[in-house]
């Protein structure tokens, strides 16, 4: 168990370096797309493209041990008591395991091993697993927002405010269309309050949304400019 904890700690340090490389890679993608169509910047654009490729290869090297880390995470999240969180976090970790398997195979091909494999096929397969992991993470984020909304609505202070509003505006309370508009506005304000008071949840939600642009483009679900993909990737880093 001690060896496993040491290995997980080491991969966590590698993940920190991977985030730095990822930020540089996406910044290069953004700048390359912005400069490649401008006269006089051709050589700079080529250098940025080469740096982007080098960062991508370096990131694959840092991610070699992440498959073990994802397996360990899945083992821990499977013990959660909340069935929704248990399902989302465990399945997300398992899809990341599949993604890292594909990623490691692509890295082995890039250095000369497994040269016979179809790079495009395995790259698309990795993108599918990564996309599935992001979607599950978004479901988990939305579930946590809904859970906190329910807790806020059950708060005695919030219930008192709702009763006060209904007593002071009895005619409006009987107007179904008005009720729907007010409820929508209150729900929207409540979501903003929850995200503002919970920075980790807000950051995770923004990160997952930004990360979606990459696989959406690679899987041809929706064509997105490389500049947008690079900018969103840089923000999520």
Instruction: List, for residues 78-87, the tens digit of each pLDDT value.
Output: 999 999 999 9
For helices 42-62 and 83-110, give the axis angle rounded to 10 degrees.
120
Dihedral-angle region of residue 102 (phi above 0 means left; psi in -120 to 50 means alpha; beta otherwise): alpha
Report the pLDDT value the prediction gives residue 166, as an integer from 0 to 100. Answer: 54
Burial bucket for residue 144 (CB in 10 Å: 0-12, 13-18, 19+): buried
9 pLDDT band, cuts 50/70/90, is low
Of 127, 103, 138, 98, nearest to 117 (Cα)? 103
Average pLDDT, the chain: 82
161: confidence class by pLDDT, cuts 50, 70, 90: low
Q: Pick 178 or 69 by higher pLDDT.
A: 69
For the stretch 178-220, pLDDT in tens is 667 767 787 888 888 888 889 999 999 999 999 999 999 999 8
Share of the chain above pLDDT 90, in %: 31
Supply the pTM of this predicted model. 0.79
């Amino acid at each position: 168990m001690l060896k496993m904890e040491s290995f997980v700690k080491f991969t966590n340090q590698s993940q920190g370096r991977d985030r730095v490389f990822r930020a540089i890679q996406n910044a290069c993608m953004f700048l390359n797309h912005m400069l490649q169509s401008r006269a006089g910047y051709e050589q700079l654009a080529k250098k940025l493209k080469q740096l982007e490729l080098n960062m991508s290869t370096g990131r694959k090297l840092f991610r070699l041990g992440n498959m073990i880390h994802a397996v360990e995470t899945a083992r821990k999240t499977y013990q959660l008591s909340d069935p929704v969180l248990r399902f989302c976090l465990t399945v997300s970790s398992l899809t990341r395991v599949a993604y890292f398997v594909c990623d490691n195979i692509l890295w082995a091909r890039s250095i000369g091993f497994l040269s016979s494999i179809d790079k495009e096929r395995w790259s698309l397969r990795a993108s599918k697993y990564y996309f599935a992991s992001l979607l599950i993470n978004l479901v988990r984020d939305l579930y946590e927002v809904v859970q906190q909304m329910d807790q806020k609505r059950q708060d005695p202070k919030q219930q008192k405010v709702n009763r006060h509003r209904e007593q002071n505006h009895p005619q409006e309370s009987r107007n179904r269309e008005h009720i729907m508009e007010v409820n929508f506005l209150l729900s929207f304000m409540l979501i903003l309050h929850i995200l503002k008071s919970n920075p980790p949840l807000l950051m995770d939600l923004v990160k997952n949304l930004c990360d979606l642009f990459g696989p959406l483009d690679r899987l041809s679900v929706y064509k997105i400019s490389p500049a947008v993909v690079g900018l969103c990737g840089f923000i999520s880093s």
